[in-house]
Structure 1
Amino acid sequence: MSVTPEHNPLLELSPQNLRAHAAEALTRARARSIALTDAVDDEDLVRQHSKLMSPLVWDLAHIGSQEELWLVRDVGGREPLRPEIDDLYDAFQHARADRPSLPLLGPAEARAYVREVREKAFDVLEKAPLEGSRLTESAFAFGMITQHEQQHDETMLATHQLRQGEPVLHAPEPPRPPAARLPAEVLIPGGRFTMGTTAEPWALDNERPAHEVDVPAFVLDTAPVTCGAYVEFLDSGGYQDRRFWSEAGWAYLNDHAITAPRFWRREPGGWWRTRFGVHEPVPSGEPVVHVSFHEAEAYARWAGKRLPTEPEWEKAARHDPVSGRSRRFPWGDEEPTAEHANLGQRHLRPAAAGAYPAGASPLGVHQLIGDVWEWTSTSFHGYPGFSAFPYREYSEVFFGPEYKVLRGGSFGTDAAAIRGTFRNWDYPIRRQIFAGFRCARDPRPGEVT
């Protein structure tokens, strides 16, 4: 079976409309960066709220530094603005825990720097040919920098979650699900499908190339595991029962005295959590968030299931059984809207299971995009035919069993930085990220005809 053709609306844009699309994406990302940094005072900007994270002011200047390196210097061929700070904002040169001790740009200086870089980047966008090289073809470099900024915006949002103090971020509540209850599981038929992409213009190197994968039939949870379901695991003693945990997971659990998802606490009357400075009862209908791979894996074992593999997740999200084609998103090829998915920090929490029926896949799986990143059982690796571009440090240096793949994005992920092929990865111990999961299992006798 050959790789099925892909469709991407971005490829149909004229050069003028492509420039406008790139400018809008860059502008939206910058508005979010400004909102996240203007929400706190300068003292908060330079403070390290957790050793797991950089000071917010480092993220802001790093965003500008990467934009200058790729758009102003590389694509535009312009003279460097601040070459003396390149090393300070190289993420591979300095661990996050060490960044507060560096001679970083202060808040006012960082803001002025990113403004100046953006002015020059827009000038480059106006004049650069959007063809002739892989960096400029279909405005790839501008899309790459947009995604980079939005990824750091999500990182800054995670820093806000770790921050102590009164709430400074506010957003409306997510939509409520329809009254009709979803089925608990969906059977995904076996067979081949096209995984990855060759045609997505702004896809990053680890998403490429498109290739055929044969996935046996499996059963997948219709929605991510909810807090209410996870409480049953907690209250049944799941965190004290060695049977459900891998060796590494059990060691991590005990070494760090972990007894519940991060930011949860048992109080009289039930479980409570802290969410962006708000102390509230854990909502039973929302997908559980801030759990590690180890916790997700243990829950799945307790439930008599397992975590899905990465190919299983992508098949459920993209495969159209009628046409045989892989879609860009579960609902089709069009960009996400507020009706499709909980994205872009539009809400400051996951939406309850079933809240986005318009975003369901052809096979009836819900909320595969947005709400929570979903752990898979797959270690991060390159696809057959992988080629690092435009630099090895984006993906290739992370390949190996140390990292597990996450899929689908969260409520803190922007639409520009997520699609059905997008791959995230992290250490299996990570809990500060907006990660949850759903379970899979092999079909029982008689379930597959």
Structure 2
Amino acid sequence: MSKQKVTLFWFRRDLRLEDNVGLYHALKSPFPVIPVFIFDDAILENLPKDDARVTFIHELLLKLQGKLSEIGSSLLVQKGTTLQVWQDLVERFDIQEVFYNKDYEPYAIQRDKAISDYLTSKNISAYAYKDQVIYEESEIVKADGLPYTVYTPYKNKWLSEYKQGRDLVIYETESLLQKFHKEDFHFPSLTEIGFVESTIKVTPYNLTQIETYHETRDFPALNSTSYLSPHLRFGTVSIRKLVVWAQKTNPVFLSELIWREFFMQILFHFPKVVTHNFKSSYDGIQWRNNEAEFKRWCEGNTGYPMVDAGMRELNATGYMHNRVRMVVASFLCKHLLISWQWGEAYFAQKLLDYDLSANVGNWQWAAGTGCDAAPYFRVFNPDIQLKKFDEKGIYIRKWIPEFDLGYAEPMVDHAMARDRAIATYKAGILK
């Protein structure tokens, strides 16, 4: 008995049915569409068993499963090494075409090439689409074709391109949903995948305060941010709909979305930044990398309230306010002279919205070693930051209950640390 010819759509960081470019094109194909998600062993093996992001992904997949079951379809959830999973799928189904949306991280590019090459060897057509950004790869470059390495010119070119009338297409899939393959696949539990439910949960995003975002975004006690970042990371929202809305609502918020794309194209063009300084002239910096001091930073026991509140918030919730991220990152690199790679790795373990390009980009910005970074001689004073952005101490008291009951002394003197940092950087910059 011959198998039914099918198309497969591979969900990755685009966990939604609406305005999903690759999914739209898959549903326009002549064959029934089987939606697939793969829990990748290469990623999972480095995560704790109660990783909050895996719990979040599983919850999102369950929601997709619920929507698909309403039309008699279901999601095919697999676990393993991606190549082995695809080899098994090719044996199991008569696959004619495979559709997916692009990912621009080095591992993803390598993985997708291997899968595409394998599918091609089996005479299966593979199609990749731009979905998680407005402009990808080399769409926003300088006149000479080279990538931008400074944000403001990149942003200006981005806005110029966007305003030239390239109306964004919203990909309506509602009328195509009946094209999904009708079969009830087994949906694995978290336990079957090898994980347990995390006590840390992702907050639903909230766009109601974005009109005043530019006025309130630096004050962590106001809780006025959108909590959008993990939803953008895993694609529960459409970047196209978001940009159209942001352009009408708040240009400062739109600028933050453009920063996201700036760091993505930096990572794409300069993949060395994952582990190395963008500015190689900074490779001579002699980091102290004191493990005991790093432990105090991780635990939020530095004696600097803004730093400690931020780290405790991160450890407890997987979130940290953006202004506070700058303060804690600067403190680690400048006050303690601990390499940005250590901080980047810790954030990668903890952040619900962990995105490689933004995490590396922002850490190198704080350390002064990245593209368009803060100058090395700018050293945030955590106490001044506290007075400016949490003057009444509301945020710090939330996360440091002992603040008024004999809070710890600062582990390092600010003036001494500042002078030490500037001298170390100056001595380490390669001529």
Q: TM-score, normalised by structure 2?
A: 0.28
Q: Greater helix share, 1 or 2?
A: 2
Q: Find the structure with the greater CA-based Rg.
A: 2
Higher strand share: 1
Task: Give me the TM-score of the superposition, normalised by structure 1.
Answer: 0.27
